[in-house]
Chain A
Amino acid sequence: MGRLLQPGAAIAVGLIFLVPILWMLITSVASDADVFTFPPRLWPAWDFSNYAKAWGKSPWLTYFGNTVLIAGSVVLLVLITSLLAGFAFALMRFRGKGVLFLLVMSAMMVPQTVLLIPNFIMAQKLGWYDTYLIQIVPWGASVFGIFLLRQFFLTLPKELFEAAEMDGAGPLRMLFSVAAPLAAPSLVLVALNSFMGSWNAFVWPYIMTKSDAVRPIEVGLQAFYGTEGTDWTGLCAAVSFTTLPIIVLFLFLQKYFVTGVYGTQGSVRG
């Protein structure tokens, strides 16, 4: 009895957490008549026309393109800034290092919502309101990234760099030809962390932009929800095709996602 209880409970837990996602998929292929009945029809009707219907109603390709462009740029910037700063904080000596590192770590304590008002005012002054720039540049440095790479570089043996120095390599050569390649697993974590942050971003781009031409996918999805609020089959289809890329990415890179959780833990612990 006890032997069956644990696996049974594990299966039940898994199913309970999957139900909302399954329900999203089922509704996305339901017929409109099925949706407005109670009790709801639990078996899908396999009506895929909802996808075509939802796809035709919003500039989804623009939204997807914007998200890919924004997330890609953020990831690139974060990788560069984290490599440079992580390397300096781990392996170089300079005055004020401790204070400056504390300053970086303290940036993590500031909630994003707190930054909305001042950055909105600044974006309008700079002429960055409703642009890609305001969605990319402020997220181009990551405390998580700097911390993680610093931790990694600290573990590398000193001899590695002494040998390179004997060969006449400067700090930049050392960073890019010796240290960076070794840091590849950490870089994947940092990239994934920033990519997910950009993809899921909502309140920042929602406040900082107004036109579809620069808005990312989640803001587009919210707008679609605002106009098609009761078309549940179409809505669930839109939620499905905007979310499935993330789900697939997660299933392929699950290990990195989980390690990333422990990474955040480490960075918060400072």
Chain B
Amino acid sequence: MAYLLILPAMLIFLVFTIGPTIFTFVVSTFKWNWLNPDQNKFVGLANYQMLVDGSQDPPFAATLLTSGYFVGAMVVGGTAISLGLAMLLRQARRINVAARTAVFLAHVTPLVATSIVWVWIFNPRFGLANLVMSWVGIPNIDWLGNSRFAMPAVIIYSLWHEIGFTTVIFLGGLTTISTELSEAARLDGCNAWQEFWNVTFPQLRPVAIFVIVVSSVASLQAFTQFFMMTGGGPGFDTATLGFQLYQQAFVFRKTGYAAALAVILFSITVALSILQLRTTRSLGRTV
């Protein structure tokens, strides 16, 4: 009876998630023919060889570097800003609750829709971003078309979109920690900065680790904003791992090579998830 109850869910996971994941490993050892599957050729580790020797355009190392840039900025920037916002909006006053709503609202908007709005904001000639720049005396920037500014522009949009989620997580973490310790520290003469780093932050560490892992996994897989805003360009300057996977498979039709990229992406994600489970478990034991 129990097996019957779990059958529908298990069937869906097996057919559309677990099976395909294994199949990806298989595809990654083939030179896959897009049009005629009969001509698929087993090539062993040749696709992985192409990752290492950098013979593809863009070279895999460059893709990793681009991903590292994006993931690093999203994790460091996202964690720091959302922690700061959570501290700022900690008290449940009416103004703070309204501000939280505004911050979280950005997160629920569809990526396709608000990417378009931000392409307009970053418009090189008539955009709002350049208006802001002109206030501080900086001449017009071709945000999305310039290899120096394209990635920062996508990062700014992505931070705007993701920070609501992580801020809410930090706010939840803050409600579970004691204010008595903070008050005691204040009475003992700590200033706000010392109190935060020595009393509040240590209690928030598990939450911070969760936020760091979740945002690294999410930004590693990010696709839609790159597709909408830069198409991976200029050149391959914003072609991160998530975007390359799509581009190699569905634009350049190098399915086997793209599957090897997918295997890499999958492995990094699994490693991060296991790390996450380990840290929260060991923290759970000490608390």
Contact = CB atoms under 8 A, between A and B. Distances in A.
A232 to B, nearest CB: 5
Given A85-B9, A218-B112, A218-B113, A20 B106 contact: yes
Nearest to A138: B16
B21 interface: yes
A234 to B, nearest CB: 11
A227 interface: no
B120 A257 contact: no
Interface in B72-100: 85, 88-89, 93, 95-96, 98-99
B110 A140 contact: no
A246 B106 CA distance: 11
Interface centre among B2, B3, B172, B280 (most CB of A within 10 A): B2
B270 A232 contact: no
Given A110-B266, A225-B116, A258-B104, A117 B259 contact: yes
Contacts of A87: 5
Interface string A167-182: 0000100010000000
A199 interface: yes
Given A84-B8, A221-B116, A109 B270 contact: yes
A31 B89 CA distance: 38
B118 interface: yes
A118 interface: yes
Interface in A108-139: 109-122, 137-138
Interface string A88-114: 110011100100100110110111111
B105 interface: yes
Contacts of B103: 13-14, 17
B134 interface: yes
B110 A199 contact: yes
Contacts of A100: 6, 10
Interface stretch (B46-54, B58-66, B220-228): B220-228
Contacts of A140: 8, 12
Interface stretch (B121-129, B181-189, B197-205): B121-129
Nearest to B134: A39
B179 interface: no
B262 A88 contact: no
B228 A207 contact: no
B147 interface: no
Contacts of A250: 104-105, 108
Interface of A: 6-7, 9-11, 13-15, 17-21, 23-24, 27, 35-40, 80-82, 84-85, 87-89, 92-94, 97, 100, 103-104, 106-107, 109-122, 137-138, 140-141, 146, 171, 175, 196, 199-200, 202-203, 207, 218-219, 221-222, 225, 232, 235-236, 239, 242-243, 246-247, 250-251, 254, 257-258, 261-262, 265, 268-270
24 contacts: A13-B88, A20-B160, A21-B106, A23-B128, A24-B120, A81-B9, A85-B10, A89-B6, A92-B1, A111-B265, A113-B242, A113-B262, A113-B265, A115-B16, A115-B24, A116-B246, A117-B24, A117-B245, A118-B23, A146-B9, A196-B108, A200-B110, A232-B126, A265-B172
Given A103-B13, A246-B110, 14 more contacts: A10-B89, A17-B160, A38-B126, A88-B6, A107-B18, A110-B21, A110-B266, A111-B266, A114-B265, A119-B16, A141-B8, A218-B110, A218-B111, A265-B169
User: 7 closest pairs, A vs B, by CB?
Assistant: A118-B20, A14-B99, A138-B16, A88-B5, A14-B102, A141-B12, A94-B2
